[in-house]
Amino acid sequence: MSKRVEPTLLTDQVFATIHASILSGDLPAGSRLKVRDLAEQVGTSVMPVREAIRRLEEMGLAEREPHKGAVVKSLSFEELIHVYDVRRLLETEAARLGSERITQEDCDRMQSEYELMREAIREQRVIDLLDHDEEMLAILYQAAGNPVLLQMIRTLWQQCRAYKIVGAQGSLDAGKDDSLWRYQQDLVTAARNGDPAAAASVNEASLVDATERIKARLAEQATP
């Protein structure tokens, strides 16, 4: 039994390491996932790395490219907009449902994550601000009582994490960080007031704004 379990546990560890590097931006979109290089970095044989990459492909975080092999998946401009359109549909509904059922204790937890997010913004720690933002939102969405809805949203977050980093970094570089926190501030207020219409409206506006910021940042990067 132990001989059968150990390789699986090792693959889980390798997967978690590569997965974390993608979400942190250490492996940005388009990065090649060279099996032997990764195996050397994590200190394993190539087999767990190959299996970990296969899992990443199944999750939509990696893909195969001709003459390159596996790479961290990039979203086309059109696909990025599609992802944010779906996020807007799901997260607007999740905010509406969550604000109807959330407890004051969970609102306090949202407030704590919001304050940690503001601190990360002041210190320009992009990954931390995104982590706290997502955790704050997850508390509200979990209150909706639909775990499938939350899981679908988390999957979309992972798929567009590289672009969330681009958008957040762009706002920080431009000195316009209010777009990173003012919607969240209003969302906490809506949740405390048990106001589903306000929560849905805030999320709608937030995601529309995020889409436009990311589009603008990508356009800047594409300009010679």
Q: Indicate the pLDDT class of residue 2, thresholds 50, 70 and 90.
A: very low
Give the CA count within 13 Å in the CB-facing half-sphere of 186: 16
CA 136/CA 182 separation, integer angstroms? 14
CA 116/CA 38 separation, integer angstroms? 33
- Taking only the tens place, the pLDDT of each residue in 133-147 is 999 999 999 999 999
Residue 3 has pLDDT above 50, yes or no: no
Residue 143, pLDDT score: 98
Residue type, 76: S
Residue 108, pLDDT score: 98
Residue 223 vs residue 218, higher pLDDT: 218
- Taking only the tens place, the pLDDT of each residue in 44-62 is 899 999 999 999 998 888 8
Contact residues for 49 (Cβ-Cβ < 8 A; gap 6+): 14, 18, 35, 38, 39, 42
Mean pLDDT of the chain: 89
Could you state, in order of their start, the residue ranges of all structural domains in the chain?
2-72, 77-222
Lowest mean pLDDT of 68-77, 89-98, 209-218, name the range: 209-218
Longest dimension (CA), the chain: 58
Q: What is the 3-state secondary structure (H, E, C) of the chain?
A: CHHHHHHHHHHHHHHHHHHHHHHHCCCCCCCECCHHHHHHHHCCCHHHHHHHHHHHHHHCCEEEECCCEEEECCCCHHHHHHHHHHHHHHHHHHHHHHHHHCCHHHHHHHHHHHHHHHHHHHCCCHHHHHHHHHHHHHHHHHCCCCHHHHHHHHHHHHHCHHHHHHHHHHHHHCCCHHHHCHHHHHHHHHHHCCCHHHHHHHHHHHHHHHHHHHHHHHHHHHCC
Lowest mean pLDDT of 17-21, 100-104, 128-132, name the range: 17-21
Residue 191 vs residue 215, higher pLDDT: 191
User: Which residue, among 186, 91, 176, has the nearest Cα to 142 in the 3D structure?
Assistant: 91
CA 113/CA 59 separation, integer angstroms? 27
Residue 110 has pLDDT above 60, yes or no: yes
Residue 41 has pLDDT above 70, yes or no: yes
- Taking only the tens place, the pLDDT of each residue in 172-200 is 888 878 889 999 999 999 999 999 999 99
CB 120 within 8 A of CB 132: yes
Residue 148 has pLDDT above 60, yes or no: yes
What is the CATH architecture of 2-72?
Answer: Orthogonal Bundle (1.10)
Q: Does domain 77-222 have CATH number 3.40.50.1980?
A: no
∠ Cα 166 136 134 (to 5°): 30
Lowest mean pLDDT of 94-98, 187-191, 217-221, name the range: 217-221
Residue 175, pLDDT score: 83
CA 144/CA 91 separation, integer angstroms? 11
